[in-house]
Amino acid sequence: MIKTKDTGDNIVVYLRGRLDVHMSGEIEKDIQKLIDENPEKSLIVNLSEIEYMSSSGLRVLVAIMRILKTNGQNLKLCHLNAAVKKIFEVVELMDMFDIYETEEEALRT
């Protein structure tokens, strides 16, 4: 079960633990349900409590971004730790996502 916060125009999603193949399917399903129930809202995914992320997590974030864009909404990511940021850099996805240092910054922009 993912933790969320409704801020009006956006929903902040707090992911924690491991974002690997074992967990990514369940997280993708939960976020898909959240999008279906809130089609008019953009998402901010806070990754501050992600300890570990593999390409399965990356694939989920790409899928969420695609669904939100189709709905005319946006996906913002914040609080990427060094290891998570490295994966984005290696696969050259940093420029494809809206990435912010903090949740406050993501909410402001």
Which spans of this chain sit near other proteins (rule: CB under 8 A)?
A: 18, 20-22, 52, 54-56, 58-59, 62-63, 65-66, 83, 86-87, 90-93, 96
Nearer to other proteins by C-beta: 16 or 107? 16
For the bound state, the minimum distance from the C-beta of residue 65 to other proteins, rounded and expressed in Å, comes to 7
For the bound state, the minimum distance from the C-beta of residue 95 to other proteins, rounded and expressed in Å, comes to 10
Task: Tell the residue number behind the tokens 């995914």, with chain if given.
Answer: 45
For the bound state, the minimum distance from the C-beta of residue 62 to other proteins, rounded and expressed in Å, comes to 5
| DSSP output for 14-55 | EEEEEESHHHHHHHHHHHHHHHHH-TT-EEEEEEEEEEEE-H
Nearer to other proteins by C-beta: 55 or 74? 55
What is the torsion angle, in degrees rounded to the nearest 10, for the CA atoms of residue 1, residue 50, residue 35 and residue 103? 120
For the bound state, the minimum distance from the C-beta of residue 107 to other proteins, rounded and expressed in Å, comes to 24
Residue 66 neighbours by CB under 8 Å, 6+ apart? none
